[in-house]
Structure 1
């Protein structure tokens, strides 16, 4: 069984329409040769970005019961990867998974906001819950707004590489590996990227050419590639470089004028992830 694929428990929301969250995480991990076990925190008719108020299916008892079932089956997860939580109570679900599979790589994408503000519908007590999860994680992947929330800083106005590097370094007191995404102002505004830092190690910056289009779900794609590449044995910086390059490829595959609310045309780019 040494050639069995790595297995990731992905704790995120599942939108039916719109390429985001589990709708993109599962195919990305599968293309990388990683088995994704989806544990939805909520099932939505669409993602929550600009498509109106989605229909929502939520069963608070489902998540704990699913974890208990997986544990009884003797399943082993190589990674616990969490993202969007509908409220602070759902943090207990992730904590339960961390406790049941203590040897798994623990990756937290602390989905809380972007562009200098929290996402609509999320309450302030989620910040404290995310801080507690990040303190138990091996890797965290906040954007600059989420990094500021985790640090208790004022939400960012102008976002730049120097500020992001400082955020990443300070967040290593919370988690061993930190990747701050969505960093602009690189190379006179011609690049976008992310900065990373690890405890006791030098920070780094990964750049990709700026493509002036904003699509929902690209952060989920980035984090999924990061997880998959790390499970393949890549060091964090190499995994970040692969993730940034793939997101850029997804954007290039999406025609100009395509509705940005619907996400990138992931399907055309997935073959780039598959072993040759």
Structure 2
């Protein structure tokens, strides 16, 4: 007898060109064998990283109406996974989803900045809005810059955070959210992710550093992580699988490829398919 696939409510941006947001999250979850239900926070002609000012399709009422429709239909979500929010009010949309489906695993990627600065176009009010959202989540996935913003710490210089400092920061963040995975720490020839939970447990995931920066790799990491968690992996194993797949995507992308357009994940998606 076939078992229905797990279902994830994905509340992220949808860029038409440039591999990021829902354009990578949906195919990754589908390859893993998880049904992705997309609720775009913004529909954009491209992502916002270096491709000029994108065309935007704005419909503030769509998200709440979509959630209400899914609730009327009796849709059951195993996970609510949120990422880029274009304005603080959209955090309330994710909180509404958490109230509608209280039994769902809630994973929040508090997308606010990287490399020691906030992303352009985001209001400062995004910080308290995402702090409140993170406090209601089961697991959060900040990078070092986002962790500092959530904690009110000085923003770290690029590459300045050590694994030891990351572990301390992750532990402090468990006062906000019970499970934390701090991502994207560079340590020598490794890229490191540090996990912690409110019970004092911790873990570190190391994969070989591939010194190339592409837009969308954080969304790829998060999507694989969510998919593996729903398959029953513990967080450390899910994080390891996500980090390895990001590395596979980077190696599949030719030298000289335009980093603004994201990694060439199409050729390696099949590695995520169960029993492939």
TM-score bin (small chain) = over 0.9
Name 2:40's counterpart in structure 1.
40
Name 1:17's counterpart in structure 2.
17
Q: Deviations over 1:103-161 (max 9, x none)?
A: 00000000000000000000111000000010010000001000010111010112221
How far apart, in 1, do the equivalents of 2:2 and 2:154 lie?
A: 48
Correspondence 1:130-149 to 2 at 5 A: 130-149=130-149
Instruction: Name whichever of 195-204 and 168-177 sits farther off.
Output: 195-204
Provide the secondary structure at the position in 1 that maps to 2:80.
strand
Name 2:217's counterpart in structure 1.
218
Correspondence 1:123-162 to 2 at 5 A: 123-157=123-157, 158-162=160-164
The total of aligned residue pairs comes to 273
Correspondence 1:253-272 to 2 at 5 A: 253-272=252-271
- Unmatched runs of 5 consecutive residues or more in structure 1: none
Question: Which runs of at least 4 in structure 1 moved beyond 6 Å after TM superposition?
Answer: none
Does residue 166 in structure 1 map to residue 158 in structure 2?
Answer: no
How far apart, in 1, do the equivalents of 2:222 and 2:166 lie?
A: 17
Instruction: With the length of structure 2 as denominator, give the TM-score of the two structures.
Output: 0.97
Q: Give the C-alpha shift of residue 2 in structure 1.
A: 6.8
Q: Deviations over 1:71-122 (max 9, x none)?
A: 0000000000000001101111001100000000000000000000000000
- Unmatched runs of 5 consecutive residues or more in structure 2: none
How far apart, in 2, do the equivalents of 1:51 and 1:135 lie?
A: 33
How far apart, in 2, do the equivalents of 1:57 and 1:193 lie?
A: 36
Q: Deviations over 1:157-192 (max 9, x none)?
A: 12221221111110011111100111012xxx1111
Q: CA RMSD in A?
A: 0.9
Instruction: Name whichever of 194-203 and 7-16 sits farther off.
Output: 194-203
Correspondence 1:1-276 to 2 at 5 A: 3-157=3-157, 158-185=160-187, 189-276=188-275
Instruction: With the length of structure 1 as denominator, give the TM-score of the two structures.
Output: 0.97
